[in-house]
Amino acid sequence: MTARLRTLALALSLAASAARPALATPPAYVGGQFRYWVFDDGNNMRDVLAYFARPTWHVQLEYWDWEDPNARNQFRPEVGIHLRDFRRSVYTIQWRHEGDYERFTFGTDQVLNGHFVGRAYVSPLVSGQAGTLWVEGFGADYYWGSYNFASSTLIHDARGGGLWSMPLRLRLATEGDDWIQFALVPASQRSMGGAVDVKWRGIRAGVEVNSRYDFTNRDNVIYTIGYERALGVKP
């Protein structure tokens, strides 16, 4: 996924924990991934990330290592706080360093009933050179069983003259938290993305395809392998 979609995926995971029965919520997740980005112009990238997430906070460390020796590599740390009310709705405050930007996110995942969770957030991207740009999103998730969900989010990104995208996701899971997830991401300016991700006994793998990645003229394919474990739950 793109950087902003990976953040959305983590928020979805935390929202899923909020919507499940309390006894099914593990105390923490820990994981790491290696992602290899293959671009059609040959400027490929190695992406390494590790994360630790509890119901009330998470931290993620990520490093972008471009194969082009002239490209600027990036260290992209992220920290988020997730507060819950008596209905288990979630209120998020998050910071991430993104190259030339400091990205702050203020959002909420509201439990609407036993199956639906509504979501809204705003992200100012603060840069000393480019000023402040804004990303806004709103959408909803539908949950059934303990871990299955379908999700749709409409995102407006001020970068590139004002861009729109709508990630659509469907996750089918077992009670043991093994799952397969499908994603389709239609967007403005004739861009399209899609992905398939799986998790089996803690091992995570996926393939993502993007046309006009981040609304540029470059296409890419991203291959992912990693491991994730719920602490306090038998693997």
Paired with 79 in beta bridges are 59, 95
Domain of 205, CATH number, reads 2.40.160.40
Residues 42, 48: Cα–Cα separation, whole Å: 19
Quote the Cα angle for 4-227-74, to 5°.
40
pLDDT over 60 (residue 2): no
Report the share of the chain in percent with pLDDT over 70.
87
Let me know: does 235 contact 201? Beta carbons within 8 Å: yes
How far is residue 116's CA from residue 113's CA, in Å, rounded to a whole number?
6
pLDDT 10s digits, 176-208: 789 999 999 998 887 889 999 999 999 999 999
pLDDT for 160: 75
> What CA–CA distance (Å, rounded) separates 214 from 207?
17
Domain that holds residue 165: 3-231
pLDDT of the residue at 18:
39
E strands, the chain, in order: 28-39, 45-54, 57-66, 74-75, 78-84, 90-98, 101-111, 116-127, 131-144, 148-157, 163-165, 168-173, 179-187, 191-200, 203-211, 220-231
* Of 165, 228, 172, residue with least CA distance to 196: 172
- How far apart, in whole angstroms, are the C-alpha atoms of residue 199 and residue 202? 6
pLDDT tens-digit series, residues 26-61:
589 999 999 999 998 888 999 999 999 999 999 999
**pLDDT digits 0-9 by tens, 101-118:** 999 999 999 999 879 999
Number of folded domains that form the chain:
1
C-alpha to C-alpha distances, 120 to 57, 97, 189, 231, nearest whole angstrom: 18, 21, 24, 29
**For residue 4, is pLDDT > 70?**
no
What 143-147 contacts at long range (C-beta under 8 Å, 24+ apart), as own/partner pairs, is: 143/16, 143/19, 143/20, 143/115, 143/116, 143/117, 144/115, 145/173, 145/175, 146/20, 146/21, 146/24, 146/173, 146/175, 147/16, 147/20, 147/171, 147/173, 147/174, 147/175, 147/177, 147/179
Collapse the DSSP code of 217 into the 3-class scheme (helix H, G, I; strand E, B; otherwise coil) and give the result.
coil
